[in-house]
Amino acid sequence: MAAPAPRVHYLAGFSCPVGGLAAGPRVLPLGAEVLLAAGRELVYVYDREARQLTAAYRFPAQVWHLEVLAPRRALLALCARRGVYCLSLDRARRSVSQSDGADEDGECPFPVTPVDPDTCVLPDASLCAFTVLGDLLVALAQGPAQWKVRLFECPCPGEDRGPRGQIGEVELSTHTPPAGSAGEAQAPHLLPVLCCVSLPSPGAPLGPPQGPRALTLEGSLFGLLFGADAALLQSPVILCGLPDGQLCSVVLQTLVTSGLAPGDPKALVRILHHLEEPIAFIGALKTEPSAAGPEGADLDCLVALGRHGRTLAIKAGWDEAGSLVPELREYCLPGPVLCAAGAGDSRLYHSTPAGLCAVDLAPGGAPGDPVPPDGPAGLPALLCPASLGVCSVVTLAAAARSPEGGTELLALSAKGRLLTCRVDPRPAPPLRARGTAADSGRKIKDLLCGIGTASERVSSLKKAVDQRNRALTCLHEAMNVSCALLASREGARPVSCTTTTAWSRREPRDVLTATCLLENSSGFRLDRGWALCVQVLPGSQAAGPDPGSSAVTYTVPVDQLGPGERREVTLLLGPGADGALDLPLTVSCALFLSLREVVGGALAPSDPLRGPSLGGCLPGVLPEQEGICLPLGEHTVDMLQGLRFPGLAAPPVLCPPPGDPVSTFLGACGRPGGEPAGPESLRAKYLPPSVAAIRVSAELLRAALGGSDSGVSLCCATLQWLLAQNDAVDAVRARALASVQALAPDGGEVRLIVQEVAVAGLCPAGPVQALEVQVESSSLANLCRAHHAVVGRMQRLVVEQAARGSSPPDLRVQYLQQIQANHEALLQEVQALRDRLCTEDEASSQATAERLLQVYQQLRSPRLLLL
């Protein structure tokens, strides 16, 4: 099919929602006027002769569908979830001059007339589409699980505005309701389509079809599609195109009588076909010429067009035996289909995001081609769309046909521009050598209009391509980083995060901070969408039923972290306002890539490419988690890292200015050398500190630490190793200390002592040289936390040395059995003392508690030796 040469003219511009027009845009011609709904509550009336806007009406809700009763000059509008409104254009036009309310949004310079809610002649929230046939109104309603076709008397302006009486009703096929909508019909994502076809007989009982969607179908095709009963009754037939792809038909005469004598609904509804995709358009075309001329030929081809381009064409034909049979053929056109229209000839016009196209279903590609001598020609084997050079059209309407056979289309673009497109089916004549100034001006105007349309299309496509290219680049980098991290679980990692702790002064107290250093050692770049997630989990909550409930997660965007670059994040760990810090803490670091941030813009449709759907949400193409998480590692902050050593740093001596003697005395009492004031200080002064110890073989420690600490005593090297992750380790190393006094996060004192001891009776060869690490503190909580940290380090040291193949010396099994028996006896005594505490009174339970504390201290200082 040769591409026709359209002439496009710009008429006016109208406001549209943010993101472009979506569902419900309509363009209806009414003589020299054009009625237009731009997808929201406003309906405009545009005068083509005066080239200006003459009226604007604001309905109570979004307008889904419009129909015009030309003889009565009445407007019927279906509002979302409200019903059908009937408005007299002449009466409303006279009231426009009396209305002084302009558009609230400043969208329309013309005064906007609000539509009276009393004009709702058919209040029904379930209505999704309707059409008019003479004095009847056919509506399609969405139930909780089924579609229903309902028949009403057509309202007239000025009549009683009460609810219209229902004449008949029939149920169509079931549909799957959205999730979470049990018992309640939700708004459809795509609107259904209604169309009426009838025989070309003026003597039909219901009269000839009168309405904007009424079509006169050829008698042979009508009988083949809808049966002999419909042909004998000469009754119009309602065609329903549903969002699930079903094409159904209901004979109007049977629908009228169903209200008087209800019967089987299945006998009233016939499913003609299933397109397996939402139906966007139903119409009829004239593919063969007639002896009565182009205007006398009946429509001989029924067409249904799906949202994704699947097209169904049905035409009457003959089989080999000479019997009349329906010829059905499916085509696949480019999609998605935004809108479609037919102008009464053999051409079908449909709009896609790529542009407005036309396909010809005539036997030879044009209605004037000769018909084969052996009878009517069939449907073409292939449809070739011809582009008309207009893009972003969201609604179409056939305005008029010229005597020469040309077609004028009214179109509304996604940007809200009202256009006319005149299509000439015949090839353009050769250019004349000379032309008038008017012809040159018209050609220049057409050329500029085409340039503007092409420029808008190119700009939109370029923006979409750029977004997709950036998203693909980010996803490619993310794939490289993910593969590199997953392939290097052992050894150095291409992207690492190390955590260190330090005390810093923040008024009015000292706080413990954790610094996470993110280093990119790979050859890739962490670009848009990447973030560093740091989760801090208290150690006492890690073993609970829901560890994540007490965790605190910090998310820091990683912006443009190239190869070899670093990013540092500092977090506050505590203590809190009560001075407590629950140690140990687990700090987990991970890289997170937000897929919505990377590809969300590329998946979102641009304005011209937006399809005619009711929802403006993105399709559910992203996974539920909407991101990729790559763990980098965990770090445990225990008591040994949280200790402070104020005695190791010699502060500068400052001469304070003379002040109030009372303030000086109170300050001296509050200093460490002053008189204790709190219960913890009283316990520290009058009660001996609690002690816990652990013994480790000197040979084991020397093998693990001696190589790196040559020239340093084993006791000093062991203390430095225990405090290696504390920021005061340099001061301990400089003074070669074997014991140190420290402060816990809550201010309590903790003392660490490392000394050499000889363990006798364990080895037949003689005493075993060992190191004993003692932890002293007047606070049992601080003692347990510090002892737990020391034991954890020693356990990891033993596991590492065992992996190297070192073996322990010969041991006396009887000695070990005795120690084990003593340990089990202490555990049994602990259980008995705890049971006794539950039954004794307050006076007698004090001695039991003291004994329980002594047993706990013995368990914390066993005579076992780590070898």
Q: Does residue 464 share a domain with residue 572?
A: yes
State residue 181's pLDDT score.
47
We report the CATH number of the domain holding residue 20 as 2.130.10.10
Whether the pTM exceeds 0.95: the reply is no
Whether 676 is in a domain gets the answer no
pLDDT at 409 over 60: yes
Q: Does residue 496 share a domain with residue 596?
A: yes
State residue 364's pLDDT score.
64
How many Å apart are CA 530 and CA 477, to the nearest integer?
11
Evaluated on CA atoms 416, 79, 140, 216, the torsion sign reads: negative
Residue 611 confidence class, pLDDT cut points 50, 70, 90: very low
State residue 228's pLDDT score.
83
Which of 779, 810, 841 corresponds to the end of one domain? 810
E-strand spans in 371-526? Answer: 386-387, 393-401, 407-413, 417-424, 495-506, 509-520
Q: Does residue 417 share a domain with residue 459?
A: no
Q: Which amino acid makes up residue 790?
A: V
Stated length of the chain: 867
How many Å apart are CA 811 and CA 815, to the nearest integer?
8
State residue 675's pLDDT score.
43
% of the chain exceeding 70 in pLDDT: 73
How many Å apart are CA 699 and CA 819, to the nearest integer?
22
State residue 821's pLDDT score.
77
Residue 489's closest CA among 632, 679, 387? 632
pLDDT at 12 over 50: yes
How many Å apart are CA 523 and CA 514, to the nearest integer?
28
Whether 367 is in a domain gets the answer no
The CA–CA distances, whole Å, from 713 to 106, 772, 867 equal: 85, 14, 19
pLDDT at 302 over 90: yes
State residue 431's pLDDT score.
41
Contacts within 8 Å (CB) and 24+ apart, 700-703: 700/797, 700/798, 700/801, 700/806, 700/866, 700/867, 701/771, 701/797, 703/801, 703/806
Residues 6+ apart with CB under 8 A from 459: none
State residue 92's pLDDT score.
58
Element (H, E) at 773: strand 768-777
Q: Does residue 797 share a domain with residue 739?
A: yes
Residue 852 confidence class, pLDDT cut points 50, 70, 90: confident
State residue 131's pLDDT score.
93
State residue 620's pLDDT score.
45
E-strand spans in 31-125? Answer: 33-38, 42-47, 52-58, 63-69, 74-79, 83-88, 113-114, 120-123
State residue 504's pLDDT score.
85
The CA–CA distances, whole Å, from 677 to 92, 537, 671, 673 equal: 87, 33, 10, 12
- pLDDT averaged over every residue in the chain: 77
State residue 261's pLDDT score.
53
Residue 717's closest CA among 735, 733, 728? 733
Q: Which amino acid makes up residue 103?
A: D
Q: Does residue 354 share a domain with residue 289?
A: yes
pLDDT at 198 over 60: yes
State residue 600's pLDDT score.
67
Q: Does residue 489 share a domain with residue 411?
A: no
We report the CATH number of the domain holding residue 506 as 2.70.50
Whether 293 is in a domain gets the answer yes
Residue 807 confidence class, pLDDT cut points 50, 70, 90: low
How many Å apart are CA 16 and CA 5, to the nearest integer?
29
State residue 751's pLDDT score.
92
Token pair recorded at residue 866: 């780590």
Token pair recorded at residue 239: 């065609």
Residues 196-212, mean pLDDT to the nearest whole number: 60
The residue range of the domain holding 498 is: 454-540+550-603+625-637
pLDDT at 206 over 70: no
Whether 733 is in a domain gets the answer yes
State residue 201's pLDDT score.
61
Residues 189-208, mean pLDDT to the nearest whole number: 72
Whether 834 is in a domain gets the answer no
Where is pLDDT greater, at 663 or 124? 124
pLDDT at 609 over 50: no
DSSP 8-state symbol, 202: T
61-103 confidence digits (pLDDT tens): 999 999 988 878 889 999 999 999 998 887 656 544 444 444 4
The number of domains in the chain is 3
Residue 312's closest CA among 326, 324, 322? 326
233-265 confidence digits (pLDDT tens): 888 999 999 999 999 999 988 887 765 555 566
State residue 304's pLDDT score.
95
Where is pLDDT greater, at 854 or 377? 854
Q: Does residue 30 share a domain with residue 154?
A: yes
pLDDT at 106 over 60: no
Q: Does residue 396 share a domain with residue 458?
A: no
State residue 649's pLDDT score.
60
Evaluated on CA atoms 200, 206, 208, 211, the torsion sign reads: negative
State residue 662's pLDDT score.
45
Q: Look at 382-386, 476-480, 782-786 and tell me which has the smallest mean pLDDT.
A: 476-480
Q: Does residue 729 share a domain with residue 597?
A: no
State residue 306's pLDDT score.
94
Q: Does residue 414 share a domain with residue 467?
A: no
Using DSSP, state whether 673 is helix, strand or coil. Answer: coil
Whether 815 is in a domain gets the answer no
Largest CA distance in the chain: 127
Token pair recorded at residue 152: 């009403």
Q: Does residue 418 share a domain with residue 458?
A: no
Is-cis flag, bond preceding 17, omega within 30?
no
What string of DSSP letters covers 389-419?
S---EEEEEEEEE-TTS-EEEEEEETTSEEE
Token pair recorded at residue 244: 């699930």
Q: Look at 287-296, 514-523, 633-642, 791-800 and tell me which has the smallest mean pLDDT.
A: 287-296
622-652 confidence digits (pLDDT tens): 445 578 888 888 899 999 998 988 877 644 3
Residue 20 confidence class, pLDDT cut points 50, 70, 90: low
Whether 697 is in a domain gets the answer yes
pLDDT at 700 over 60: yes
Q: Which amino acid makes up residue 730?
A: D
538-556 confidence digits (pLDDT tens): 865 554 555 555 788 888 8
Whether 490 is in a domain gets the answer yes
Residues 737-756, mean pLDDT to the nearest whole number: 89
State residue 265's pLDDT score.
61
Q: Does residue 709 share a domain with residue 567?
A: no
Residues 841-865, mean pLDDT to the nearest whole number: 73
pLDDT at 670 over 50: no
Residue 368 confidence class, pLDDT cut points 50, 70, 90: very low
Where is pLDDT greater, at 335 or 777? 777
Taking phi first (over 0 means left), then psi (-120 to 50 degrees means alpha), and beta for anything else, what does residue 321 get? alpha
In angstroms, the first-to-last Cα distance of the chain is: 92
Residue 351 confidence class, pLDDT cut points 50, 70, 90: very high
Q: Look at 184-193, 522-531, 565-574, 592-601 and tell me which has the smallest mean pLDDT.
A: 184-193
